[in-house]
Amino acid sequence: MSIVPAKRKLRADIITLAHGSGGKAMRDLIEDVFVSGFDNEQLSQLEDQARFNLASLTAQGDRLAMTTDSYVVDPLFFPGGDIGKLAVTGTVNDLAVAGAKPLYLTCGMIIEEGFSVKNLRRIVTSMKATADAAGVAIVTGDTKVVHRGAVDKLFINTTGIGVIPLGVNITANRAQAGDIVIINGYVGDHGAAIVDARGEMELENTIETDCQTLNGLVETMLQSCPDIHCMRDATRGGIATVLNEFAESSSVGIILNETALPIRPEVRGMCEILGLDPLYLANEGKLVAVVPADHADEMLNVMQQHPVGIDSAIVGKVVSEPSGYVVLQTIFGGERIVDMLVGEQLPRIC
Amino acid sequence: MKYVDEFRDPIKAKALIDEIHALKDKIYRIYDKPLQLMEFCGGHTHTIFRYGVEQMLPDWIELVHGPGCPVCVLPMGRVDDCVTLAERPDVIFTTFGDAMRVPGSKKSLLQAKADGADIRMVYSPLDALALARKNPDRQVIFFALGFETTMPSTALTVLQAENEGIENFSLFCNHITTVPTIKAILDSPDMQIDGFLAPGHVSMVVGEKPFKFVAQTYDKPIVISGFEPLDILQSIWMVLKQRAEKRCEVENQYVRIVPAAGNPPGLNAINKVFELREFFEWRGLGSIDHSGVKMRGTYSRFDAECKFTVPNIKIADPKSCQCGEVLKGVIRPWECKVFGSACTPETPMGALMVSTEGACAAYYNFGNLPKLLAKRQQKEQSNENKESAA
């Protein structure tokens, strides 16, 4: 008769340095919060690494895609999401916009001593739910606990691996004159939600983040048109930055139509008050795609049928000149260049 | 969006542009050059570039972007003073966001923050007062900046601090005034401006009267303008119409916000707390008499310049900078020798490259840079040719 060790339980209310020391307290934390929270076969082996069957990977495509991102958002919880949801969606989306099918994630957590175990569990639950919905598993991880003040509450790093199907070739340098620019919905929601959630503005409305995984949408898009030329998710720096990257890499101009840009009234309102430009606000569930013109209408139609693409819109087109520049045709009937930001956007005095 | 979209209507814009075109032949022009109109205020400059208003205008109108960006014209020495104050361990230094990036001689407030100074971005001076209430053992300094627009709110905050008996709150006062500065531009011998758009939000506080001298003494039409693109177009049309009808007066386009007499309670608060400085130093324009305010002696306990030691060292503008000439309309931003090369938004040398409201930064960010630089080269070439022909 084998003796099965009792499942370890974390009974503390707050995380202390002991939970990062490598001893029993750390095992309690890892097993009770992370292994049971992320709940999958790989992780429950408690090995130092996750292991993959190569044959099953190669059956799904001909290239691996890998990406990493760290999440340091403040506040940790905000309307429509939290740091955990963000840590999964962000990395899943970075894989998805290459046309890759995201499969596995890692999760590194750097926790400030004194952090609430209840909040940690809440974040892990949120990561698990988001990962399940996206069809990915969190298969290995790392935990560090640091002195008070060494990090702000909690930082998360996730690394992701996915497989790119044969024939898909999405890169920033493939935009051609005549191509069409499509976005899958309202811009700037996440950036505005974070400013709002910090509570400094005391706005009447609550703005929700757009934090959502895009791999399902991308799969549908690729079925409609495998030859998507460029695609990126417009996170920090907003859609302005992504479009500038396309224009520069492909040596083309991009004409953006301000009237066609989907922006929620509450996001616009906040930008008007603070003198911010929604084109530069962060998104966490928005992709910008450059597609051949003859596929654009069908692509738009397919995207609008998908739950995370209902508000998709054609917002611009690719031209040969001015090469390397993004030009906005303004609502007012004028034109201006949309450059990359120098630093972060700062509210204006008056 | 209500009260916004109405003022950005492209159909109305087209109608106004047609009206402006129609005025061309009626306008008496003495120079063989485009008519130069100055929008004084950085907020106007921002709108003009944000909506591409300038390219919509006919080529016989040239907009000159004035010095009305309080962040841009802040001299390096004052930024150094801010950094010195902010680096005191007992101080929480509070500031509006866009002042964070203005370069001092050694560092900006953003860099000082990275070096460990306790610098916090606020949206109103009342936020700074709230911090003072919450941190009675720290000294909270508010970096008071801006034209008459922001003066009433800082003045009222000081009065509130006095009422509540909050002693750990003070202002580092860098408020500047509009009228002496417009006058300095008008008095400049190489000034070429044919008409002005007056700052709408400053006027909301000071009213119409302070701008009368522009029309009466200097014979230049001046129109108080709002900040939406249609406001700007309508104001330009009103200035042109004055010229066509050979009138010179102060007109108010921004009637929905600006009462003729301004805001008397706001003016009272300003007069109670502030008095004119003999002169104030401007980045790009040099020293201008009576162009700034300081706190009155009765409020010296709320005056960071009295409470703490500030170095107050004057740092000269870099010689290669031509901000002054740009501000007076003598040259256009892209004609400056260092524009886009030594002076960029990442490493601004001159005032006008500092904030997005500055004319040079606006051209750099929103203009077609290669085209502008090619134009400058062309101009330099033709100047050289002219010289060698002579």
Which of A268, A343, A349 is facing B145, going by the closest CB pair? A349
Minimal-distance CA residue of chain B relative to A267: B1
Residues belonging to chain A: 350
pLDDT of residue A3: 52
CA B4 – CA A330 distance, rounded (Å): 14
pLDDT of residue A1 exceeding 50, the answer is no
Chain A nearest-CA distance from B218, in A, is 28
B23 to A186, B196, B243: CA distances (angstroms): 42, 17, 9
Yes or no, beta carbons of B368 and A337 under 8 Å apart: yes
Kindly state whether A146 is in contact with chain B, defined as any CB-CB distance less than 8 angstroms: no
C-beta atoms of A335 and B55 within 8 A? yes
Residues 6+ apart with CB under 8 A from B130: none
Which chain B residues touch A268 with a CB distance below 8 Å? Answer: 1, 4
Residue A154 has pLDDT above 90, yes or no: yes
Chain B residues in contact with A275 (beta carbon < 8 A) = 46
Tell me if chain A has a CB within 8 Å of the CB of B126: no
Q: How far is A151 from chain B (nearest CA, A)?
A: 15
Block residue for tokens 């007076």: B328
Q: What is the pLDDT of residue B190?
A: 81
Q: DSSP states of B38-93 as a string?
A: EEEEHHHHHHHHHTTHHHHS-TTEEEEEEEE-TTTT--HHHHHHHHHHHTSTTEEE
- Top pLDDT among B352 and A223 is at A223
| Phi, psi for residue A291 in degrees, rounded to 5 | -125, 155
pLDDT 10s digits, A15-74:
999 999 889 999 999 999 999 999 999 999 889 999 999 999 999 999 999 999 999 999
d(CA B325, nearest CA chain A) in Å:
25
Give A2's pLDDT tier (boundaries 50, 70, 90): very low
Of A184, A220, A232, residue with least CA distance to A302: A220
Q: Which of B71, B127, B230 sits opposite A349 (nearest CB)?
A: B71
Q: Are residues B101 and A347, on separate chains, in Cβ contact within 8 Å?
A: no
What is the pLDDT at residue B87? 97
CB-nearest partner of A349 from B1, B4, B70: B70
Name the residue with tokens 């003494």: B217
Strand partners, B343: B339
Q: Is the ipTM of this complex over 0.90?
A: no
Residue B265 CB neighbours (<10 A): 9
Question: Which uninterrupted H or E stretch holds B140?
Answer: strand B139-146
- A340 touching B (Cβ < 8 Å): no
Q: Shortest CA distance to B76 belongs to which of B266, B298, B315, B285?
A: B315
Contact A80, A193 (CB under 8 A): yes
Please report, for residues A228, B123, B172, the alpha-carbon distance to residue A167 in angstroms, rounded to integers and kept in the order given: 11, 51, 63
Give me the tens of pLDDT residue by residue for chain B, a chain 390 residues long: 888 889 999 999 999 999 999 998 888 665 567 899 999 998 999 899 999 999 899 989 999 998 888 888 888 899 999 999 999 999 999 999 888 888 888 999 999 999 999 999 999 999 999 999 999 999 999 999 999 999 999 999 999 999 999 999 999 999 999 999 999 999 988 888 999 999 999 999 999 999 999 999 999 999 999 999 999 999 999 999 999 999 999 999 999 999 999 999 999 999 999 999 999 998 888 899 999 999 999 999 999 999 999 998 888 888 888 888 887 778 889 899 999 889 998 888 887 888 777 889 888 888 777 777 787 788 778 777 777 776
CB contacts, 8 Å: B123 with chain A:
200-201, 274, 347
- In this model, does residue A317 exceed pLDDT 60? yes
Partner-chain contact B10 A268, CB within 8 Å: no
A59 to chain B, any CB pair closer than 8 A? The answer is: no
Q: Are strands B61-68 and B35-41 parallel, antiparallel or unpaired?
A: parallel
Residues of A in Cβ contact (< 8 Å) with B150: 349-350
Min distance A347 CA to chain B CA atoms (Å)? 5
DSSP assignment string, A322-342 = STT-EEEE-TTS-EEE-PPPS
What's the CA gap between A130 and A215, in Å, rounded?
12
Residues of chain B found within 8 Å of residue A348, distances taken between Cβ atoms: 46, 96-98, 355-357
User: Which residues of chain B are within 8 Å of residue A337 when distances are taken between CB atoms?
Assistant: 365-369
CA distances to A29, A40, A155, A159, A194 from A129, rounded to whole Å, are 20, 13, 19, 17, 22
Contact B367 A337 (CB under 8 A): yes
Nearest to A350 among B43, B101, B346 (CB): B43
Question: Is there a contact between B98 and A350 if contact means CB atoms under 8 Å apart?
Answer: no
pTM for the structure as a whole: 0.88
CA A95 vs CA A73, A88, B75, B345: distances in Å: 21, 11, 47, 33
Contact list in B for residue A255 (CB cut-off 8 A) is: none
Structure tokens at B347: 């490493």
- Total count of residues recorded for chain B: 390
| Whole-angstrom distance, CA of residue B108 vs CA of residue B94 | 14
What is the dihedral angle through the alpha carbons of A329, A293, A221, A87, rounded to the nearest 10 degrees?
-30
3-state secondary structure of B24: helix
Q: Residue A342 has what pLDDT? A: 76
What residues of chain B lie within 8 A of the CB of A265, using their CB? 1
Sole residue written with tokens 């980045």: B283
Closest-CA residue of A relative to B231 is A332
pLDDT at A6 over 60: no
Distance (Å) from the alpha carbon of A251 to chain B's nearest alpha carbon: 14
Closest CA to B199 of B45, B12, B353, B330: B45
- Please work out, in degrees rounded to the nearest 5, the angle formed at the alpha carbon of residue B91 by the alpha carbons of B298 and A350: 70
A218 near A309, Cβ under 8 Å?
A: no
- CA A277 to CA A58: how far, in whole Å? 44
For residues A107 and A73, the answer to whether their CB atoms sit within 8 Å is no
Chain B, 47-76: which have a CB under 8 Å from a chain A CB? 49-56, 70-71
CA distances from B342 to B339, B345, B346, B348, B353 (A): 7, 10, 10, 8, 11
pLDDT at A267 over 50: yes
DSSP A23: S
- Check A350 against B365: CB less than 8 A apart: no
Please name the residue that has the structure tokens 């040719």. Answer: B385
Residues 357-386 of B with CB under 8 A from A: 357, 364-371
Region A251-266: mean pLDDT is 96
Q: Of A201, A337, A348, which has the smallest distance from its Cβ to B366's Cβ?
A: A337
Interface contact B366-A336, CB threshold 8 A: yes
Residue A350 reports pLDDT greater than 60: no
Note the pLDDT of residue A5.
54
Residues 6+ apart with CB under 8 A from A112: A15, A145, A146, A147, A148, A149, A150, A151, A152, A153, A154
Which chain A residues are Cβ-neighbours of B144 within 8 angstroms?
Answer: none
The residue ranking higher by pLDDT, B363 or A298, is A298
CA gap B18, B58 in Å, rounded: 10
**Strands across the sheet with A137-146, in order?**
A63-71, A154-164, A101-112, A137-146
> CB B1 to CB A272 under 8 A?
yes
Contact A188, A284 (CB under 8 A): no
Residue A70: which of A184, A151, A190 has the closest Cα?
A: A151
Nearest to B51 among A274, A275, A332 (CB): A332
Cβ within 8 Å, pair B10-A335: no
Q: What is the DSSP string of A221-281?
A: HHHH-S---EEEE--TTHHHHHHHHHHHHHT-EEEEEGGG----HHHHHHHHHHT--GGGS
B149 touches chain A (CB under 8 A): yes
Strand B286-289 and strand B279-282: the pairing is antiparallel
CA nearest to B170, candidates B185, B154, B151, B186: B154
Long-range contacts of B292-295 (CB under 8 A, 24+ apart): B292/B174, B292/B175, B292/B176, B292/B177, B293/B151, B293/B173, B293/B175, B293/B176, B293/B177, B294/B173, B295/B158, B295/B171, B295/B173
Closest Cα in chain B, distance from residue A339 (Å): 6
Distance CA B236, CA B230 (A): 10
DSSP state of A31: I
Rounded to the nearest angstrom, the minimum Cα separation between B246 and chain A is 30
The Cβ-side half-sphere exposure at B327, using a 13 Å CA radius, reads 30
Q: Which positions in chain A touch B355 (Cβ < 8 Å)? A: 348
